[in-house]
Structure 1
Amino acid sequence: MSNYPLSYKLSWLPSLLKPSLGGDRNGFAAPAATLIEPRPSRTVRLAFVGDISAVANRSTPQCDPGIMALLSSADLVVGNCESPIVERPSAVLGTKLGTHHTMTEQFLVDTLAAVGIARDRLALSLANNHVLDQGIAGFDQTVATLKRLGIRTIGTPAKGPIERLSAGSLTLGFAAFTLWRNADAALFSGRVSMTVEPARWRRDAAKSIDLICAVPHWDWEFRHFPRPATRALARLMASHGVGLIAGHHAHVVQTVERIGKTVVAYGLGDFLGTALSRQPWPGRIGAILTVDVSADLGTRGAIEGYQLHFFMRLRQGNHEWLVPIEALDGAEKRRVAARLDAIFPTRSA
């Protein structure tokens, strides 16, 4: 059984059809900022993308060259693997209906090539509610496939609460977890990280880690502004030394907050469509978060600056086409700009 409260379930469909701009809008930050002056001479670039799924793509997606260049410039790309990687789905009916996710190894390989992400510079979180959609065997196949492809994973308790990954000359600690599950707790236990223990993260990361990053699968879906409980959890993590938080699960772009020196991007939306093949337009706006981290001796591990790069997933036959919002025109460009201005009032300042 899933662990969603009844109020969440009742609000899911209305929010899907009309993503919400409701909620507390106070205290949020601009989608781009420089945090260290003078800028360090050496930096490592991280790029975070949203949920990755084949639900809206029956063939390889297309990608604008500018987005490809942005992703290929990163020393490390981090995303959320929202679909188990299997050749034949075990949940046949649910897969056809779209409630159970799946993608093939070939789809993932072709997609990474199409968007400019090198496998040896990619880390995928398995801490999400859909990772067991194809059962335990599907989960095991996903882990094995990613290992064979040379793609690093985070979000499994076997590696401990903090997983160390190298990026350029830095060593980063990743704490990936999900608050939500679509199956019984017994199935998730021991396979998918669901425990939030920031005090322990700091102890485990005390040595040889330059920056602690959290990758939570949290909040409620289709809401541009995070709930109070989500913001409270972000403050708790920041108080225990987490310097960067990049969240998933909302399937729409969410706000950014700065808590002291901690940068929190509550939700990056979908990188590839995960809800419907023809999702309402606000859910087709996505963001790529780039973060430049100092590698200089005096400021090593400090965030030099960050920026959200917004894009739109357009329908192109039986797959999606990722284009920067600057490439849109006419009424579509105006309504996307209006939505982003409502979420980030200072983005054009």
Structure 2
Amino acid sequence: MIRRTARTWLAALTAVVVGVGLAGCAAGSTGPAPVGRGATPGPASSATGTATPESSAPVEVRLAFAGDVHFTGRTLGLLDDPETAFGAIASTLREADVALVNLETAVTDRGAPQPKTYHFRAPKTAFAALRAAGVDAASIANNHILDYGRQGLFDTLDAAAEARYPVFGAGRDADGAYAPWFTSVRGLRIAVLGMSQVHDLAGSWRATDTRAGVAMAFDPARATAAVRSARERADLVIVFMHWGVEGSSCPSGEMRTFAARLSEAGADIVVGAHAHTLLAGGWLGQTYVHYGLGNFLWYGTSHSTDSGVLTLVVRDRTVVASRFVPATVSGSGQPVPATGVGKQRILDKLATAQRCTGLAAKRPG
């Protein structure tokens, strides 16, 4: 009920924001339109992100995160009924105030396949399916958003604007790619950025001042500057990463180094995906980090069918509770909530994976 009330209140604001955003695109805007229910806020109430003046009581918000989503191969047919595309797991996403995933596909029917092994694209109804499942926004900072070149990226940005659906992590230039998606829940201002640390084609796919592309971790100065800028304008800063070694349940040194940089720059939460298997989470100083959410709605075979939804309860800038809801990628590609022995096996796997994260199991005093 709280989530539905927040969405209703923001509906009118969304219409205004979208109108401005679309007008900006028509005038030659270089980044994705600020579509969706979030609006760009002013400066945060304080440097530490204390509660906004509307209320002196701590603001509590529930967040949900899931991994990689495709609508191609066996999952393309799920778009015949976008309302049910995600199946039973959607109820877990809808329970959150803000739910986020990684959309690992271009939304286009044009463009030339790029020189790589796998190519993913989906029709515009992908955004209807995400919205119906309760997913509020999607990262497109990944190694598939330009599978069909910049034409495919432009089509994706245009389709998102047309659907009034927020995407982040790639744009018509670097400013657009590194720009956060902003939203507000009960007065708590949230900024969400997307970035990729996947090496394949990173040099030609990275966004620059004059070229469309992806926000890359390989430009650490620009990446951390984007986080610091978001810190000045939001109470809570989240970074959704695309990183990791495929098949490995432990973070690489490169991941751990960049997570530390994000934490130092002011990120409150860092989550990621890409490795096609689950990694674990914990505390890096005052920053909550979860290195890998695995596949979620998945088109074919993979290293692992283990999946799930990470839920976090945040009070102001602090994660006060975390829970992982295990799921299994089924034969249809839908993630199905795990039960019994299967559920416990995934939880045990995460407990084992936590040992190699270098993260603390509890928030420091």
Give me the whole-angstrom Cα distance separating, in 2, the residues matched to 1:59 and 1:160.
30
Give 1:71 deviation, angstroms. 0.7
Q: What is residue 65 of structure 2 aligned with on the other side?
A: 48
CA contact (8 A) 1:164 1:209 kept: no
* Equivalent residues in 2 for 1:302-313, closer than 5 Å: 302-313=318-329
* Residue 192 of structure 2 is aligned to residue 174 of structure 1: yes
Q: What is residue 148 of structure 1 aligned with on the other side?
A: 162
CA contact (8 A) 1:53 1:272 kept: yes
CA contact (8 A) 2:59 2:188 kept: no
SS of 1:142 mapped into structure 2 = helix
Residues 188 and 252 of structure 1: is their aligned pair in 2 closer, same or farther, counting only changes over 3 Å?
A: same
* Residue 286 of structure 2 is aligned to residue 261 of structure 1: yes
CA contact (8 A) 2:298 2:334 kept: no
* Residue 252 of structure 2 is aligned to residue 227 of structure 1: yes
Q: What is residue 240 of structure 1 aligned with on the other side?
A: 265
Cα deviation 1:19-74 (Å, max 9, x = unaligned): xxxxxxxxxxxxxxxxxxxxx76412221111111244241175553x22221122
Q: What is residue 320 of structure 1 aligned with on the other side?
A: 333
Give 1:243 deviation, angstroms. 1.0
CA contact (8 A) 2:180 2:230 kept: no
CA contact (8 A) 1:62 1:322 kept: no
Give 1:320 deviation, angstroms. 2.2
SS of 1:232 mapped into structure 2 = helix
Give me the whole-angstrom Cα distance separating, in 2, the residues matched to 1:237 and 1:92.
30
Give 1:226 deviation, angstroms. 0.6
Query: For residue 143 of structure 2, what is the amino acid of its counterpart?
Result: N
Residues 188 and 239 of structure 1: is their aligned pair in 2 closer, same or farther, counting only changes over 3 Å?
A: closer
Q: What is residue 33 of structure 1 aligned with on the other side?
A: none
Give me the whole-angstrom Cα distance separating, in 2, the residues matched to 1:234 and 1:184.
19
Residues 187 and 244 of structure 1: is their aligned pair in 2 closer, same or farther, counting only changes over 3 Å?
A: closer
Cα deviation 1:133-155 (Å, max 9, x = unaligned): 01111111111111111111111
Query: For residue 203 of structure 2, what is the amino acid of its counterpart?
Result: A
Give me the whole-angstrom Cα distance separating, in 1, the residues matched to 2:195 and 2:346.
31
Residues 206 and 325 of structure 1: is their aligned pair in 2 closer, same or farther, counting only changes over 3 Å?
A: closer
Q: What is residue 137 of structure 1 aligned with on the other side?
A: 151
- TM-score scaled by length of structure 2: 0.69
* Equivalent residues in 2 for 1:193-204, closer than 5 Å: 193-194=215-216, 195-197=219-221, 199-204=224-229
Q: Which stretches in structure 2 are left out of the alignment for 5+ residues?
A: 1-56, 79-83
Structure 1 residue runs of 4+, over 6 Å off?
Answer: none
Aligned pairs, how many? Answer: 284
Residues 236 and 57 of structure 1: is their aligned pair in 2 closer, same or farther, counting only changes over 3 Å?
A: same
Residues 153 and 337 of structure 1: is their aligned pair in 2 closer, same or farther, counting only changes over 3 Å?
A: closer
Query: For residue 45 of structure 1, what is the amino acid of its counterpart?
Result: R
Question: How much is the aligned-residue C-alpha RMSD, in angstroms?
Answer: 3.0
Query: For residue 330 of structure 2, what is the amino acid of its counterpart?
Result: L
SS of 1:205 mapped into structure 2 = helix
Give me the whole-angstrom Cα distance separating, in 1, the residues matched to 2:85 and 2:191.
32
Within the candidate set 264, 270, 275, 2:295 is matched to: 270
* Equivalent residues in 2 for 1:61-72, closer than 5 Å: 63=86, 65=88, 67-72=89-94
Give me the whole-angstrom Cα distance separating, in 2, the residues matched to 1:265 and 1:239.
16
Higher relative contact order (CA 8 A, sep 6+): 1
> Identical aligned pairs, as a percentage?
22
Give 1:313 deviation, angstroms. 0.9
Give me the whole-angstrom Cα distance separating, in 2, the residues matched to 1:291 and 1:341.
17
Give me the whole-angstrom Cα distance separating, in 2, the residues matched to 1:200 and 1:325.
40
SS of 2:77 mapped into structure 1 = coil
Give 1:102 deviation, angstroms. 1.1
| Stretch deviating more after TM superposition (208-217 or 153-162) | 153-162
Residues 200 and 92 of structure 1: is their aligned pair in 2 closer, same or farther, counting only changes over 3 Å?
A: closer
Within the candidate set 276, 280, 304, 1:251 is matched to: 276
Give me the whole-angstrom Cα distance separating, in 1, the residues matched to 2:76 and 2:111.
15
* Equivalent residues in 2 for 1:1-349, closer than 5 Å: 42-55=59-72, 56-60=74-78, 63=86, 65=88, 67-87=89-109, 90-91=112-113, 99-110=118-129, 112-113=131-132, 116-117=133-134, 122-156=136-170, 157-159=174-176, 161-168=178-185, 169-180=187-198, 182-183=200-201, 185-190=203-208, 191-194=213-216, 195-197=219-221, 199-273=224-298, 277-280=300-303, 283-294=304-315, 300-315=316-331, 319-326=332-339, 336=346, 339-344=349-354
Give me the whole-angstrom Cα distance separating, in 2, the residues matched to 1:78 and 1:324.
18
SS of 1:59 mapped into structure 2 = helix
SS of 2:107 mapped into structure 1 = coil
Give me the whole-angstrom Cα distance separating, in 2, the residues matched to 1:126 and 1:225.
23
Give me the whole-angstrom Cα distance separating, in 1, the residues matched to 2:77 and 2:227.
42
CA contact (8 A) 1:154 1:163 kept: yes
- TM-score scaled by length of structure 1: 0.72
SS of 2:91 mapped into structure 1 = helix
SS of 1:78 mapped into structure 2 = strand
Give me the whole-angstrom Cα distance separating, in 1, the residues matched to 2:71 and 2:201.
20
